[in-house]
Structure 1
């Protein structure tokens, strides 16, 4: 296929930056590999690589590089062709059974098959295929697809791993010194059964150059520097107030305690917290400074690359707001900044800023956006659970920022409130700033 020059330039730029979209969750020093060699590639995503979602999450592209193709083009010798052929046959049988079940259920419901099946996704099937130690390195690619029109389900082959996946992932981790578990999915997968694995990479769904970009990361030509935008936890540890699955009536009663705001508030440990992501190298946050001008808050921080590879780090600023009229989560992300590439042994400066108004809460009784009086604790770190208090802002009185008019009736939906489980003794020498409330002008209603 002949590519235009602008396409070549676009794809090259895309490929060079895709490592920054991958999230390394665990490492044991076995990667990156020094050169392309023989590799045993297992799992549904090696050939059936998911570049995007379903429905509007899908894009018609002229081509797409699968993970298998990307490895081969990078110079790897993929030794598991027979296993992949056998898996394809197992998956095709499962797909036929899945479609047969959908047709039967559509008839029983009286719905048109197309409408009934819209958004339906087949869970990855169980299989019984042997894995062997036949290469210098190995990967297992867990692949999941999802999109509009349906909720993901807590079943094996979707949010949960299948027994076959768990068995083979653990076996490969024991067999190979150089083994990487790769997650090719647009959302969390419950990894609790395989947390002993030494190297885990969230590839996500990275479009047409995904297979080539993964090969680049395995070889260290580029490096992962992304962060999780959702909390990854064991399924049973997620907020109990989420009632998904009913197509007609779904009640979202978690209120403000969504994602990390729930886990951090109740003190429940996730497998991998919001904002988490490591790199081939190691970083250390140095000294920080804080300044306040009106409602504008600015933090300057220094990041040191303390490892042996170049890399990029994402510094994150969280704020614990005071509780008064309304309950609040333990903390909210207020700002973040990603460094440029930092060579091994060198430092970089980052600046983060936010406006205190952005932390306003909405009071649905008074129909106002307002700031509670009290102490706002600033926390700097590299994930929602890896932070250090760096300063306190004090607001002496309530500030109403905006009053609005109610245009929809109030519902009887009961939202849950949680008590903050985390208690701490703050350092006495933290910088403190008194916010002048007279400089906070209300917005027009």
Structure 2
């Protein structure tokens, strides 16, 4: 039977972290399975990253199908104790995986409630001893599915093992001499215990694999497939080792632990946060030193480095040639399978700079490629090409991307810690690659009080920049309007009310609209009492469609979550699939996603999510690809190409931007908390957190982008003109539609302010937001031209769906 693309992708994504005594692949097929996740296998995350498996699969079942004989006593014990699967997904009586029915508001109060992980069952000693008589090998499946939308994870009993997990682990390692640990987890956990028990011979990162992942893991355990995944993130030895450990709020239950402006000597009022009982912040003091950029630059020990992953075979990597042309550099590397199993290896290219005026991380990933399946003794030459422009860094003082004078050395390897010198380039003068304007800078009131991490100085002060009027290397305003000439002509006779009604989603704009039995108006009425807009999509749920005016040729489009599925099953999640380092498979995955969207009549897939892994406690790391912006961008670009080039479906990357903390990202009206303010330097913003979005605009031709709830240096992202217009449209030449995240009427950006900033559609919208927009028009905070521009952009992207023959 032909494997699905989902299983193939998981096979190449699973990471073998430890394999002492070559315990894997299994030689003896008799195994004792322990841990609830063997049967209650976790297939998806929570919130918009949730999905329900439509297949009756679990890890134990799939292993048995492949000839692994599970010890009967333990199997019976776990089977009899299994809880109803639906209980894992129900909070306050609401099925949180039924996300298509959730629009906004109270939804976030539900998602924002921390749900601790299950308790592992105590195994009777007699049962354990009987299992030991059957086999000397145990597979302990460790599950983790805490955190999610509006809710970050906790340290005790989450990042760290629960007490019941510790007890079970101790019991297993005392009874069985050979223990294989499978990590069925939605984020990083403390792993110091791996080396504390000599019985632990192997560790496998499975992540959140979707419903086809169990079969993939079973094939790897049996040796039918050789693991080739590489970590897309760094695993430190402990939580305190992460550079963000002290600058990340995660526990809503501990009010006094919520970081605010005052914790950093900053003034909430000066930052524009007034009238709140708390004004949360997350300060990016690590600056450009995120993940391996920090660990490698500051020579910090890690448990497993970025890019690391073992195989059942071994490879010899030999840099052969570096060829430099005017605009490009090519690296040829010879890879030889020097072991006894057929397998694949990933070649990673890192840049290390010295002698530049700006300080740089020790290493930055600049390219990668995966071999084909190599038989023992077989060789393959791998070519990696990079553009000289991609070597430039952002210099705040000149507001430019500059290829600075200095030495640029390149290293080839199979992790950030295992590299070989591959060549160098000497740049003898500065080259300005792109001229910009300082945007989204640290607010002047904060400059004297903030310091960020520096490899040269330890800590350095944040600089103040005055915005200048220099033009950027992008489209001018008139050129952007010229692109919409036909659409602007089409809307010039629309009334202000019609324009405002098209700048929102169609629906009542209230929490849980699809659950409500009470009829609520879904749009405003014209002078004759007729609805101005309607929903004419065949299946799109209210709150998740744009409004239609069929008499004007404007039809509804249907937006749907999410990254892990659209209702046709559970897909592997981003944190796992990024470990494949396989561009072709990512594109094939996108093609499969596009096909599933087409089946469900979904026009806009609300994904990929391209925020970065800044802190291991982020509740949505499973939904994000990596700590590295380049890897994140490439993965997202390839998936997007697969979706958009083969189907009448568009993607909507999110959350634009700097949404790496879920705790109070949108504040709390109930507690009168402001939305969290992400405070960071312009350089870190541009080089790290905006980079994946820029790559998607430049290399994948995205037509939609979703703004985030949080503030960026004091301004809500959805109401931030620097972000939504000056950078996105003027610098990057984006000509599509910007939609807000699905908010409601409390802390998130006012509808009028959002449109003025460059958001075109405020979601889920409805009459409340239409009224906000009309009020903003009356108060002259927005103009008719602003409204016409947003509606014209919507009409422009609607043309993309005309070939789909459904709209």
Same fold (TM over 0.5): yes
Within a 5 Å distance, the mapping from 1:21-420 to structure 2 comes to 21-28=13-20, 29-34=22-27, 37-79=29-71, 80-85=74-79, 88=82, 115-119=108-112, 120-125=114-119, 128-130=122-124, 131-132=128-129, 133-136=132-135, 137-145=137-145, 146-156=147-157, 158-173=158-173, 175-176=175-176, 178-195=178-195, 196=197, 197-233=200-236, 234-239=238-243, 240-245=245-250, 246=258, 248-322=280-354, 324-411=356-443, 412=446, 414-419=450-455
CA-CA distance at 1:315 after TM superposition: 0.8
Note if contact 2:341-2:375 (Cα within 8 Å) is conserved in structure 1: yes
1:431 corresponds to: none
CA distance in 2, matches of 1:123, 1:190: 15
The more displaced of 387-396 and 254-263 is: 387-396
CA-CA distance at 1:61 after TM superposition: 4.1
CA-CA distance at 1:386 after TM superposition: 0.7
Give CA-to-partner distance per residue, 1:53-75, whole Å, 9 cap, x none: 11221224422521122123223
CA distance in 1, matches of 2:319, 2:364: 22
CA-CA distance at 1:393 after TM superposition: 0.9
Note if contact 2:35-2:120 (Cα within 8 Å) is conserved in structure 1: no
SS at match of 2:354: coil
Instruction: Specify which structure has the higher proportion of strand.
Output: 1
CA distance in 1, matches of 2:230, 2:346: 8
CA distance in 2, matches of 1:189, 1:116: 25
Give the counterpart of 1:19 among 1, 7, 11: 11
CA distance in 2, matches of 1:420, 1:312: 39
Give CA-to-partner distance per residue, 1:82-127, whole Å, 9 cap, x none: 442576479999999x979xxxxxxxxxxx9754331433234365
Give CA-to-partner distance per residue, 1:234-259, whole Å, 9 cap, x none: 21211145323249432222111110
SS at match of 1:255: coil
The more displaced of 61-70 and 311-320 is: 61-70
CA distance in 1, matches of 2:37, 2:167: 17
The more displaced of 245-254 and 267-276 is: 245-254
Within a 5 Å distance, the mapping from 1:424-439 to structure 2 comes to none
CA distance in 1, matches of 2:80, 2:419: 47
CA-CA distance at 1:134 after TM superposition: 4.7
- Structure 1 residues 214, 126: closer, same or farther in 2, change over 3 A? closer
- Structure 1 residues 184, 327: closer, same or farther in 2, change over 3 A? same
SS at match of 1:321: strand
The more displaced of 212-221 and 224-233 is: 212-221
CA distance in 2, matches of 1:91, 1:52: 13
- Structure 1 residues 60, 168: closer, same or farther in 2, change over 3 A? closer
1:425 corresponds to: none
Instruction: Specify which structure has the higher proportion of helix.
Output: 2
Note if contact 1:54-1:147 (Cα within 8 Å) is conserved in structure 2: yes
Question: CA-atom RMSD, angstroms?
Answer: 3.1
CA-CA distance at 1:171 after TM superposition: 4.4
Note if contact 2:220-2:227 (Cα within 8 Å) is conserved in structure 1: yes
CA distance in 2, matches of 1:244, 1:176: 39
SS at match of 2:123: coil
2:629 corresponds to: none
- Structure 1 residues 73, 31: closer, same or farther in 2, change over 3 A? same
- Structure 1 residues 67, 134: closer, same or farther in 2, change over 3 A? farther
Note if contact 2:30-2:70 (Cα within 8 Å) is conserved in structure 1: yes
Note if contact 2:43-2:53 (Cα within 8 Å) is conserved in structure 1: no
SS at match of 1:378: strand
1:439 corresponds to: none
CA distance in 2, matches of 1:30, 1:409: 53
CA distance in 2, matches of 1:199, 1:420: 39
Note if contact 2:436-2:473 (Cα within 8 Å) is conserved in structure 1: no
CA distance in 1, matches of 2:288, 2:30: 49
TM-score norm. by structure 2 comes to 0.46
SS at match of 2:183: strand
CA distance in 1, matches of 2:171, 2:311: 25
CA distance in 1, matches of 2:295, 2:67: 43
CA distance in 2, matches of 1:95, 1:147: 12
CA distance in 2, matches of 1:62, 1:191: 32
CA distance in 2, matches of 1:20, 1:298: 26
Give CA-to-partner distance per residue, 1:374-430, whole Å, 9 cap, x none: 001111111001112221111111111111124545333735223279xxxxxxxxx
CA distance in 2, matches of 1:15, 1:94: 24
Which runs of 5 or more structure 2 residues have no equivalent in the other structure? 94-104, 251-257, 260-279, 458-471, 475-730, 732-807
- Structure 1 residues 174, 317: closer, same or farther in 2, change over 3 A? farther
SS at match of 1:315: strand
Give CA-to-partner distance per residue, 1:121-150, whole Å, 9 cap, x none: 323436543444254332111111243322
- Structure 1 residues 194, 324: closer, same or farther in 2, change over 3 A? same
Note if contact 1:265-1:418 (Cα within 8 Å) is conserved in structure 2: no
Note if contact 1:91-1:125 (Cα within 8 Å) is conserved in structure 2: no
